[in-house]
Amino acid sequence: MIIRTHKNKLTAYGGIWTGTAYDFIAALSSLEKEYSNIDVHIHTYGGDVFEGNLMYNALNSSQANITIIIDGVAASMGGLLALSRKNVKMVENGFLMYHAPHSYISGTAQDFEQNAKLLRMVENNFKEKLKIRTGKSDKEIEKLMVGDNWFGAQEAKEMGFITEIIPAKTEAFMPIEKPAELGETEVFNMYASLMTSFENAVSINNKNHEKMKKRLIALLALSIAETASETEVLDAVVEKYNAMKTAKEKAENELQAFVESNIDALITSANIDSAQKEVYKNIGIKSGIEALRTVIEGMSKAAAPNLAGKVVTGGVSTTENRSDWDFDKWQKEDPAGL
């Protein structure tokens, strides 16, 4: 999620994932120290429930007068964030979406049972928040946990999810008449392309072309004058990009050569049989030089590992089909082979 602040405005656009809550709370806390009235603009298709809960709690417990403004889409956990404050505005062509929490796991039957229990607890928490906000019956709220339930601005206001409908900052290039058929991610992406930039960001309208050009020249340290034409600026940007790309590739190649040189030196010093060199080289490349060093130092000095004669359940395994194993794979599948 991209989180920015400007004066008393906090803007949060994107997915809610690990670490999002920390950045969001830090930004909100910073504004709380300076402003008693804060506008929080959101545009998100949701994400991690537990990160979202932390964000919800921060908004809900804030002593500041906070207004939530939905600039485009507030889906899934994003919709729950909109319930954190009483004063919620949404653009006239925006959308809210609520559904039951989802999870994607693998494991034993017990793992699935425990996960189902957790999902039920989270779902009950969702339903309680929705019930408090809307005043609807348990039966009506239960319906919101079946499938994806999308609400346009007017319907969202009628349901009590928002308090005010505001003009959209941009016009959609095409109407979104059936958001449920597109899915939350696609609806989000359509709005993301229409979002206006944050305050003080570079604007690309005719009025601010010169300002944009100057900032671009300064930001990329381009070796051209501020009076350069747009074509000259574009050419300079392309040249800068190509130079950076070349430098990056050179650095990566040099690093690769350095790593391989050190790996070869370690293997040579250990007097490893030539037939096994590729096996150990792959350990060094995939798990790192230190992992290879650990393997080599732990080798028996009396003899090299007898890898070629190992037999794996289900068929005979040769050095060839183990040549791409890394250190972790050897530890897991055949620690004795090390």
- Residue 158, sorted as left (phi over 0), alpha (psi -120 to 50) or beta, turns out to be alpha
User: pLDDT by residue (tens digit) across 20-69?
Assistant: 898 899 999 999 999 999 999 999 988 888 899 999 999 999 999 999 99
User: pLDDT by residue (tens digit) across 132-176?
Assistant: 999 999 999 999 999 899 999 999 999 999 999 999 865 444 455
In the structure encoding, which two tokens stand for residue 322, read together? Answer: 């183990």
- In DSSP notation, 51-100 reads HHHHHHHHHHH-SSEEEEEEEEEEETHHHHHTTSSS-EEEETT-EEEE--
| CA dist., res. 66 & res. 263, Å (int) | 58
64, amino acid identity? A
User: pLDDT by residue (tens digit) across 70-109?
Assistant: 999 999 999 999 999 999 999 999 999 999 888 777 788 8
Tokens 């928490």, residue? 125
What pTM was computed for the model? 0.52
Tokens 């350095």, residue? 258
Average pLDDT, the chain: 78
In the structure encoding, which two tokens stand for residue 134, read together? Answer: 């809307």
C-alpha triplet 11, 15, 20: angle, nearest 5°: 70
User: pLDDT by residue (tens digit) across 187-215?
Assistant: 555 555 444 443 444 333 444 556 777 77
| CA dist., res. 70 & res. 206, Å (int) | 28
Dmax over CA atoms of the chain, in Å, equals: 81
Domains, the chain, ordered by start:
2-99+147-201 (3.90.226.10), 270-337 (no CATH)
How far from each other are the two terminal CA atoms of the chain, in whole angstroms? 44
